[in-house]
A and B are shown apart, each in its own frame.
Chain A
Amino acid sequence: MTDPALLSLAEIAARIRSRALSSVEATQALLARIAQWQPKLNAYVRIEADEALQAAREADGHLARSGPKGPLHGVPLAHKDMYYFAGKPAGCGSKVRDGWIAPESSTVIRRLHDEAGAIRLGALNMAEFAYGPTGHNAWHGHARNPWNTAHITGGSSSGSGAAVAARLTYAALGSDTGGSIRLPAHFCGVTGLKVSYGRVSRANAMPLSFTLDTVGPLAQSAEDCALIAEIIFGADPLDPVTDGAPAWNKAAAERPVGGLKVGIPNSFYVDDLEPDVAAALDETKRTLEKLGAGFVSVDLPDQTAVAAAALIVIACEATSFHAPWLRTRAEDYTPQVRNRLENGLAYSAIEYLEALRWRGPALAAHLAAIGDVDIVLAPASRAAAPTIEETDVGGGTNAEAVIFALTRFMRPINYLGLPVLSAPAGHSRAGLPIGMQFIGRPHGDETVVALGRAFQTVTDAHRRVPQLS
């Protein structure tokens, strides 16, 4: 019999609903696997075994008496420790918020847990205040890559990437402000959905940059991401940027992909790739061609200017959020995060506002460049995961260079607010995962998932599971 921990989100949810497997059995299977892997990965910051088993027993009882609460009835999940459950701690990877108890639940948590029926397994490691692309965390210890624990997970959703890859949760929420879902998905070999800005509520989740923050899932597959998306998408009165946001369109996310037009950037995203990543990109193109996609070369506007605008926006907004603590307890930040927050003190109000005002015109220029293209294909990074040793630079003088190199293919997309599915597309010769970005049109989240689903029907990189060494 297959270990229940190795099932996909869609499979475990279906088995629990049909009572082929109980929520208690699923929870016990995950807890057993966590006990083996957690000492190696440090993916969790809290494991709430007793409470999770109690919630699982209650879910099984409810199912027997009244049927399922929702599509995730009894499914144990854990999320990045920046999503609030009322009455539970949410430390946000920090010393500053250590021990803080959330007064209210995040809208996405209410939808996944209170309404769809998932149960809480614990909380996952993350970069301090989600402000770091490596996955390092000096307070809780670094999360480690399940494919090779000497390597980074990517961040900031480090525990989410590691836990999904090692099958320590069936899926996890991450957040993506400058690549924080897509980088861990790429480095850990899982599927991540960076949603369009404004389609998923961020209410009562820890903010980093209100212009760029997005909430989305990391899971084994595009199908599993779609299952989460169907629950969390749509307008929320508590988050005004979702005003008028359409609900998830399931039919569009399952559409045939033959005839989709895929754009291949002729610069930037294809420059200076490591050979393994270049090979994975070529193989992905061949696969999409077999699926019936058409290709066109696209000449995107200079992405370095777009990335610079993104940097200005995130720096100013993050510093604004943290200014009260920078005034009174700056020593409670790690050096790298404190330095990055202090960087936001360098920009003038006019620079910040011009970077904000340019967002619309920059998106218009992007749309003009891609014409009728549905998806732009790009690697998530120029290389597979570097080592922790190579990137553990703290607040040193080369910290900015390390961060810039890791996030090079990330920031422009946050600034433009576009949806992206990051899908596993192969492994390097060293056995580390490589991910590709399917970058959609604004609000085209369903289309990137449709292409990802089709891609994953004929590829197997997303099915590979790391082995405990």
Chain B
Amino acid sequence: MNGKVTPERVAAIAAAARVPLRSDAAARIANAVTPAVARFGDEPIALALEIEPATYVVIARGGAKR
């Protein structure tokens, strides 16, 4: 999977968040985050429709004891 983040994408998200960026920031940010985005994107994650963030709490409580 191509997980490369582009400066254009960073600039668009920053603008939507109303956070001003310095002129060289978008390229730096794109380089900095690409490894995490690419690695997460490469993971073959199949999330069932019913999975939500709070599902974590259920699994943690279930895994508490052996």
Chain A residues, Cβ within 8 Å of B60: 196-198, 360, 363, 417, 442-443
Write the chain A residue with the least CB distance to B5: A346
A315 within 8 A of B: yes
**Nearest CB on B from A207, distance (A):** 17
Alpha-carbon gap, A343 to B17, bound state (A): 13
Interface centre among A309, A360, A364, A400 (most CB of B within 10 A): A360
Once A342-B19, A357-B51, A363-B60 are accepted as A-B contacts, the answer to whether A305 and B39 lie under 8 Å apart by CB is: yes
Given A323-B19, A372-B66, A400-B32, decide whether A354 and B47 contact each other with a Cβ distance below 8 A: yes
- Cβ of A367 < 8 Å from any Cβ of B? yes
Taking the complex as formed, is A326 at the interface, i.e. its CB lies under 8 A from any CB of chain B? yes
**In the complex, are the beta carbons of A360 and B64 less than 8 A apart?**
no
A359 within 8 A of B: yes
Q: Do A343 and B29 touch (CB < 8 A)?
A: yes
Cβ contacts under 8 Å, B28 to chain A: 339
**Which positions 415-469 of chain A face chain B at CB distance < 8 Å?**
417, 441-444
Contact of A441 among B13, B57, B66 (CB under 8 A): B66
Residue of A nearest to B9 (CB): A346
Contact of A417 among B13, B29, B45, B56 (CB under 8 A): B56
Residues of A within 8 A of B55 (CB): 357, 359-361
What is the predominant secondary structure among interface residues of chain B facing chain A?
A: helix
A319 to B17, CA, bound (A): 10
Interface centre among A312, A342, A348, A353 (most CB of B within 10 A): A342
Contact A308 B40 (CB under 8 A): yes
Q: Which range holds the interface residue count of chain A? A: 35 or more
Residues of A within 8 A of B43 (CB): 302, 305, 308
In the bound complex, CA of A353 to CA of B45 (Å): 13
The residue on B at minimum CB distance from A326 is: B19
Within 8 A of A (CB), among B3-61: 5, 9-10, 13-14, 17-21, 25, 28-30, 32-33, 35-37, 39-40, 42-43, 45, 47, 51-53, 55-61
Q: How far is the CA of A318 from the CA of B16 in the complex (A)?
A: 17
How distant is the Cα of A304 from the Cα of B41 in the complex, in angstroms?
12
Least Cβ distance of A368 to chain B in Å? Answer: 9
CB 8 Å contact bits of A359-388 with B (1 = contact, 0 = none): 111011001000111100000000000000
Cα distance, A205 to B36, chains bound together (Å): 28
Contacts of A65 on B, CB cut-off 8 Å? none
Chain A residues whose CB sits within 8 angstroms of the CB of B58 once the complex forms? 360
Inter-chain CA distance A367–B14, complex, in Å, is 38
- Cα distance, A302 to B43, chains bound together (Å): 9
Contact call A443/B40, Cβ cutoff below 8 A: no
- In the complex, what distance in Å separates the CA atom of A15 from the CA atom of B35? 53
On whether the beta carbons of A312 and B47 are closer than 8 Å, the reply is no
Known: A302-B43, A360-B51. A442 touches B29 (CB 8 A): no
B10, B21, B45, B64: the one contacting A442 at CB < 8 Å is B64
The reply to whether the CB of A247 lies closer than 8 angstroms to some CB of chain B is no
B36-A345 in contact (CB<8A):
no
Known interface pairs A198-B57, A360-B58; A304-B39 also in contact (CB < 8 Å): yes
Minimal beta-carbon separation of A196 from chain B (angstroms): 8
Most buried by A among B18, B36, B59, B65: B36
Closest to B58 in A: A360
Residue pair A351, B40 in contact (C-beta under 8 Å): yes
Choose one: B13, B56, B59, B65; the contact of A345 (CB below 8 Å): B13
B65: chain A residues at CB < 8 Å are 441
Q: Are A441 and B63 in contact (CB under 8 A)?
A: yes
Cα separation A307 to B58 with both chains bound (whole Å): 21
Indicate if the CB atoms of B59 and A360 lie closer than 8 Å: yes
Confirm or deny: A347 has a beta carbon within 8 angstroms of a beta carbon on chain B: yes
How distant is A11 from chain B, measured CB to nearest CB, in Å? 32
Task: Return chain B residues, CB-CB under 8 Å to A327.
Answer: 18-20
9 A-B pairs (CB sep. < 8 Å): A308-B39, A345-B21, A346-B10, A357-B52, A358-B45, A363-B56, A363-B60, A374-B66, A441-B63
- Given A198-B57, A359-B53, A441-B65, 8 more pairs with CB closer than 8 A: A305-B42, A327-B20, A342-B14, A346-B10, A357-B52, A363-B56, A363-B63, A374-B66
